[in-house]
Amino acid sequence: MTLDTLDERFERLLPNVMAFGPPDDVKRPALLIFHGCGGIAPNLLIYARHAAEAGIRAYIVDSFTPRGWSRKHAANWVCKGLKLRGYERSGDVLAMLHGLSQRPDVDSSRLLLAGWSHGAWAIMDLMTQTLTEPGEARLADGDAKALDGVKGLFLVYPYINLMARSVTRPWHHKPKTLAVLSLKDHLASYTHSLALIRRLRTQGVDVETMTFNATHAFDEIGIDKTGIMAYDEAALNSTIKALEEFIAANLGP
């Protein structure tokens, strides 16, 4: 299998990245957003716009279009764990950090990673890798230096289940983390998720949680599917506020 280099993966992803922020060339902190297995949904634009209003740059990274996958294809393959598991997608996270850190309008020393569901899985799997050997993160030249400027992880209803490497492997990189959990999450039980959070704390990860009596994908308008997933406006608003506070606390003015 031929592996991308960091530069190749970044160049592959960049044309489909959605960028938000002040229309200037000022070097600003940045938030990198990674979508769930259903692809980019309108809720992610809401978060990105609030980040931009805080004066930072926000980038929504599309992992599917550059691979030639539709949302239907992703639902049939990625959502079922048959393609692009968290470990494989973690290379997208690392490559975006690597590439954006070289931009003159991005402050490479003040970066945040945010992931929803599968996106959070990819970010968490990245934390389990030393990034010292070729092939890690499915990249030819994965480099831990790309993580140097990461000040925090914002993880919303993260996929924490059997295939997630954090379940069995420790984190080698330990940014401050906030995990937004749902009591009615059918993809990762609250009890199981909380047990993992406790293990991360024993590893020295500064991780906090906030919990809603809600379902997976609670912040997606129109997600309602026979009670398995349901939109919760109050939980969405609280998560937006939590992100704004996380940005302020970890990136500064």
Percent of the chain with pLDDT over 90: 91
Q: What is the mean pLDDT of residues 9-23?
A: 97
Name the β-bridge partners of 34.
61, 115
Q: What is the mean pLDDT of residues 130-143?
A: 95
Q: Is 253's pLDDT higher than 90? A: no
Confidence band for 133, pLDDT divided at 50, 70 and 90: very high
SS3 for 141-189 is CCCHHHHCCEEEEEEECCCCCCCCHHHCCCCCCCCEEEEEEEEECCCCC
Name the DSSP class of 6.
H
Q: What is the mean pLDDT of residues 228-240?
A: 96
Q: Is 224's pLDDT higher than 90? A: no
Q: What is the mean pLDDT of residues 68-78?
A: 92
CA distances from 244 to 49, 112, 202, 227 (A): 11, 12, 27, 29
Which pLDDT does position 81 carry in this prediction?
A: 87
CB 123 within 8 A of CB 178: no
Which pLDDT does position 251 carry in this prediction?
A: 93
CB 95 within 8 A of CB 142: no
Closest CA to 27 of 147, 178, 149, 114: 149
Q: At what angle do helices 86-100 and 118-127 cross, to 10 degrees?
A: 80
How confident is the model over 181-210, as pLDDT tens digits?
Answer: 999 999 999 999 999 999 999 999 999 999
Which amino acid appears at position 99 of this protein?
Answer: G
Domains of the chain: 6-251 (3.40.50.1820)
Confidence band for 252, pLDDT divided at 50, 70 and 90: confident
C-alpha angle 112/109/115, rounded to 5°?
15
> Tokens 């997630």 identify what position?
164
Q: What is the mean pLDDT of residues 34-40?
A: 95
Which pLDDT does position 47 carry in this prediction?
A: 98
Q: Is 69's pLDDT higher than 90? A: yes
> Tokens 């608003």 identify what position?
237
Q: What is the mean pLDDT of residues 86-95?
A: 97
Q: What is the mean pLDDT of residues 53-72?
A: 96
Q: Is 104's pLDDT higher than 90? A: yes
H helices, E strands: number in the chain:
7, 7
Chain-centre distance of CA 55, in angstroms? 20
**What mean pLDDT value characterizes the chain?**
95
How confident is the model over 114-127, as pLDDT tens digits?
Answer: 999 999 999 999 99
More confident residue, 10 or 76: 10
Say what the pTM is.
Answer: 0.97
